[in-house]
Structure 1
Amino acid sequence: MHLADFIAGSVGGAFGVAVGYPLDTVKVRLQTQTHYSGVWECVRRSFRTEGVRGFYRGMSMPLTTVSISSSLVFGTYRNVLHSLHRMRHRSAADPHHKADIFLSGFSGGVAQVLVMSPADMVKVRLQCQAEGRRYGGPLHCLLRIAREEGPLGLYKGSAALALRDGPSFATYFLTYNSICDALSAENTQPGWPVVLLAGGVSGMCGWAVGTPMDVIKARLQVSGVSGRRYRGFFHCVTHSVRTEGIAVLFRGLTLNCIRAFPVNMSVFATYELVIRFLRPAS
């Protein structure tokens, strides 16, 4: 088993959260609340009413859990990829098949939903708590959701999360590897400019695929709390599209892509740095 990838993914994920969290808060509020006309109005109103701390509301739990989930994503990806590579009876020096990279990324994205769903639920609820104090903090929010909505309440929107993260991470790793292969000499590690570029672009491509399910996930997670209640996944999709048009599924896409470049540039740079330290001969 490739344990170094679990460690490097954990460190890279935590660093990525710290870089991108303020824009993630703005994105969630735009997706779940209708009284903002755009990104800049959301930023101005949030800053005016809550200050800088408002943009980091609920960050403590994601910082911990994204570290764990990112560890699962990268570790699962690497180990599935290694297994598929061996099943094809290819030597370690042979390049990985693109289909194997896609399937491995998909597996990594789905694997982390078990850990990510409760943490993401808490994050979204706290980010949308612009006024009032329904939740006192991440732990209070977690316990209150479990008490009022049952343990399964923590997994509200998990189907949408899996449908978001499976294809998103498949695209993410495929894009990263394709760019690194195209811009690097054969059988050599990609240089740092290539890592930064590939990481940033792969993040943008992943979010381009994942944003529609991200919108549905966020709406399901605040269902009943935001004033709107959805009966389930398909009701949320049909009601959102019927009342707000198909464009609602891409709300926050621009912000996601803007945020994704520096975040995933940081994630992959940190990941590669740790991997090269732990496996200097790889």
Structure 2
Amino acid sequence: MFLYQYFKKFDWREFVCGYGAATINIGVTYPIYKMIFRQMLHGDKVTSAFIQMKHEGLRYLYRGMLPPLAQKTISLSLMFGIYDGIKKNLQVEFELDPYTSKILAANLAGTCEAILIPFERVQTLLADSKYHKYFSNTPTAFRYVWTNHGFMEMYRGVAPILLRNGPSNAVFFVLREEASEHLPKTDNIAKKAAQEFFAGAVIGATVSTIFYPLNVIKVAMQSEMGHKTQGIIEVFLKIYRERGNSVRHFYRGCGPNSTRSFVSWGIMNAAYENLKTIFYRY
């Protein structure tokens, strides 16, 4: 009976709206992600990354999009759906205050998203030019990694992802709901959509910038294959030394990444709210 009452508070519409918002976003922003990825991995300047991708041509522009499409759609579906369900349970069943329930629910939702790490793992391999000759497509990459290196290789880079997912979710949801409460109320559809876009954009870009170093470490970890995984501190120090002992160089790609996050989270937030309007109408 308790389990029934617990899961009853999970609303399928939250999962569907998160899934739809992620689908719209990935189709628009994937080429920008790919350029940022090259900067994260090699420390290249934006012009160098752009020229490299230009030389590779359209054939490779959307290469590796299937893993983030699968990962992001499921991830956003879980993020919004699990967060909403857990938050309601914490507030109703355990009578926790709103902020505590939001933070706990967001962290738990972020931890659940970590089951999708294999998609990030394969996406990294497909986006890295040094693996172009080894993997022709997503299924080939999955099969190669699984067959030659085993199950745990699919979860390389789990530590920085866990450190990133929960706290970043908490910051995002708390700020997003604060913005929703304090923004001017309007019945104008265009104005409402613009507010939703800019609220999501500013919050998403801020969160992305705060947690950018963890993504750099994650990419460095996941760009390797087969040998023993190094720890977070070890990888951080390695990157730091390779980039001239400069913390500033550690943030290469952060500018374009913040721009992409601004557009990406703006699209996702606006799409999510509009999808909610449609699904909650019935």
Confirm or deny a common fold (TM above 0.5): yes
Of 3, 14, 32 in structure 2, the residue corresponding to residue 5 of structure 1 is 14
Displacement of 1:248 after TM fit? 4.5
Q: AA paired with 1:31?
A: M
Between stretches 18-27 and 50-59, larger displacement belongs to 50-59
Report what 1:93 is aligned to: none
- Asked whether the equivalents of residues 10 and 67 of structure 1 are also in contact (C-alpha less than 8 Å), the reply is yes
- Asked whether the equivalents of residues 156 and 229 of structure 2 are also in contact (C-alpha less than 8 Å), the reply is no
Q: AA paired with 1:207?
A: S
Report what 2:6 is aligned to: none
Report what 2:40 is aligned to: 31
Report what 1:19 is aligned to: 28
- Asked whether the equivalents of residues 184 and 191 of structure 1 are also in contact (C-alpha less than 8 Å), the reply is no
Report the secondary structure of 1:112's partner residue.
Answer: helix
Q: 1:53 to 1:173 in 2, by over 3 A?
A: farther
Displacement of 1:107 after TM fit? 2.1
- Asked whether the equivalents of residues 213 and 249 of structure 1 are also in contact (C-alpha less than 8 Å), the reply is no
Between stretches 153-162 and 102-111, larger displacement belongs to 102-111
- Asked whether the equivalents of residues 50 and 130 of structure 1 are also in contact (C-alpha less than 8 Å), the reply is no
Moved over 4 A (4+): 87-90
Q: 1:111 to 1:8 in 2, by over 3 A?
A: same
Between stretches 53-62 and 262-271, larger displacement belongs to 53-62
Question: What is the 5 A alignment of 1:1-282?
Answer: 1-34=10-43, 36=44, 38-47=45-54, 49-87=55-93, 89=95, 97-115=98-116, 117-129=117-129, 132-185=132-185, 191-224=192-225, 231-244=230-243, 245-280=246-281
Q: 1:163 to 1:251 in 2, by over 3 A?
A: farther
* Percent pairwise identity: 22
Figure out how many residues of one structure are paired with residues of the other and give that number: 268
Q: CA offsets, 1:215-251, max 9 Å, x none?
A: 01000001258xx986333311222224433234423
Between stretches 244-253 and 194-203, larger displacement belongs to 244-253
Q: CA offsets, 1:128-153, max 9 Å, x none?
A: 12674111110100111112221100
Displacement of 1:84 after TM fit? 2.2
Work out the CA distance in 1 between the residues paired with 2:214 and 2:184.
Answer: 33
Work out the CA distance in 2 between the residues paired with 1:222 and 1:182.
Answer: 42
Q: 1:168 to 1:53 in 2, by over 3 A?
A: farther
Work out the CA distance in 2 between the residues paired with 1:63 and 1:220.
Answer: 21
Q: 1:248 to 1:149 in 2, by over 3 A?
A: farther
Gaps of 5+ in 2: 1-9
Gaps of 5+ in 1: 91-95
Work out the CA distance in 2 between the residues paired with 1:58 and 1:203.
Answer: 23
Displacement of 1:88 after TM fit? 6.1
Q: CA offsets, 1:97-147, max 9 Å, x none?
A: 2343233222222211102x1001111111112674111110100111112
Work out the CA distance in 2 between the residues paired with 1:195 and 1:104.
Answer: 22
Q: 1:195 to 1:61 in 2, by over 3 A?
A: same
- Asked whether the equivalents of residues 211 and 249 of structure 1 are also in contact (C-alpha less than 8 Å), the reply is no
Report the secondary structure of 2:135's partner residue.
Answer: coil
Q: AA paired with 1:50?
A: E
Displacement of 1:213 after TM fit? 0.7
Report the secondary structure of 1:191's partner residue.
Answer: helix
Q: 1:271 to 1:124 in 2, by over 3 A?
A: same
Between stretches 25-34 and 236-245, larger displacement belongs to 236-245
Q: 1:100 to 1:191 in 2, by over 3 A?
A: farther
TM-score for the superposition, normalised by structure 2:
0.86
- Asked whether the equivalents of residues 175 and 201 of structure 1 are also in contact (C-alpha less than 8 Å), the reply is no
Work out the CA distance in 1 between the residues paired with 2:184 and 2:104.
Answer: 23
Q: 1:29 to 1:267 in 2, by over 3 A?
A: same
User: CA RMSD of the aligned region, Å?
Assistant: 2.5
Displacement of 1:268 after TM fit? 1.3
- Asked whether the equivalents of residues 171 and 205 of structure 1 are also in contact (C-alpha less than 8 Å), the reply is no
Report the secondary structure of 2:133's partner residue.
Answer: coil
TM-score for the superposition, normalised by structure 1:
0.86
